[in-house]
Amino acid sequence: MSLRLGIHDLSLATTSFVVQLDDLAAYAGVDPDKYRLGLGQEQMSVPGADEDIVTMAARAAAPILERHGVDGIRTLYVATESGVDQSKSAAVFVHSLLGLPSSCRAVELKQACYSGTAALQAALGQIARSPEDRVLVISADIARYALDSAAEVTQGAAAVAMLVSADPALVELESATGIYTAEVDDFWRPNDSSTALVDGKLSVDAYIDAYLGAWDDYRAHGGVPIEQIDRFCHHQPFTRMAAKAQRALAEHVGAEIDEARHLGSTRYNRRIGNSYTASLYAGLASLLDGDDDLTGARIGLYSYGSGSIGEFLAGRVVPGYRDHGRAAATLAALDTRTTLSIEQYRALHAGAAIGSVQDVTIAPVSSGPFHFTGVTGRARHYRR
């Protein structure tokens, strides 16, 4: 009997603050439907001064450890493109906040929005070798663009933690996968910039090119035909991107794809905004937390990272998955965020880039259990 591998538990966290895109539209003097309908977005999460990828990652993982404990977790991967240090892994900070054992490796991975999937694949390989082990994979990011730029409305922030194991309780991942890599300057963030740069049209084209290329490679490596995929889940820089991708795939394979097969994955992302590495798996959380009973359904997952890499993989939803869901907790986290005025948001955005040359103390302002407390001697500090 072959070893069953996949996602045993999944938990989503976001920031304590939110901007209503209707408010941003009024400030910018544009029709709010440009955001609601054109992009498929309603809100965007914004981090407080004491929140970053480390605090969000720990906040996402804590419920998993409360449910399952730390035994057998010998690896922690944190996937992000919002790293807090050029050398020290964000995973080491998270390891400390979570109280993981010293016999647990901690590594940070980077490749734009794709690296969460790279971490997931690495975790599956480790468990195939040592089935008694479990791997904690966390994708955490803050999408930040320049104020008044075209991309400003597609900001956001979130973290998704996944416990990867043998005999998973949520999604059993299948072995077939499709990959597409091409060097493209569609999106990047130079080391000397606190905000990303993006070529919007090229980014959409590169995303779709990678999707179709990854699909073709998936089929070439034993992936099932499109008719056997019950739901689709995509990386979502904005949720209408999923619709664009599905139309392109339908045309590519010459098949009809009902839009309902991906809409269930967009609910959380509409309220969070773009969360880079976490975006795909926030979509998966949304799908699993939805009203439809997906027992036994095959979910196709498309992961994309600018620059660029795309990967398509699939998994089957495990019977009894509803007993392990976290819908109530996720909705409560979204509903209890504090709405910022546009003036408050712009002031917070302007002060987000904190250097290390001068010591700084950050007062706790967010509602979560983990806080960035400042910089001393050019080193970052956190507390629970």
Residue numbers annotated as active site:
81, 113, 235
For residues 288 and 317, what is the distance between their CA atoms, to the nearest angstrom?
9
Handedness of CA 203, 205, 209, 212 (dihedral sign): positive
For residues 306 and 180, what is the distance between their CA atoms, to the nearest angstrom?
12
For residues 257 and 229, what is the distance between their CA atoms, to the nearest angstrom?
10
Are residues 77 and 137 in contact, defined by beta-carbon separation less than 8 angstroms?
yes
For residues 279 and 325, what is the distance between their CA atoms, to the nearest angstrom?
18
For residues 86 and 64, what is the distance between their CA atoms, to the nearest angstrom?
28
For residues 103 and 106, what is the distance between their CA atoms, to the nearest angstrom?
10
Alpha helical stretches, state H, the chain: 21-28, 33-36, 53-68, 90-98, 115-129, 200-220, 240-253, 260-263, 267-272, 279-288, 327-335, 342-350
Residue type, 222: G
Are residues 265 and 287 in contact, defined by beta-carbon separation less than 8 angstroms?
yes
By DSSP bridging, strand 17-20 and strand 43-46 are antiparallel
CA distances (Å), origin 157, targets 107, 123, 138, 272? 21, 24, 13, 7
Are residues 134 and 73 in contact, defined by beta-carbon separation less than 8 angstroms?
yes
Phi-psi region of 315 (alpha: psi -120 to 50; beta: other; left: phi over 0): beta
CA angle (123 as vertex; 274, 267 as ends), nearest 5? 25
Beta bridge partners of 139: 79, 160
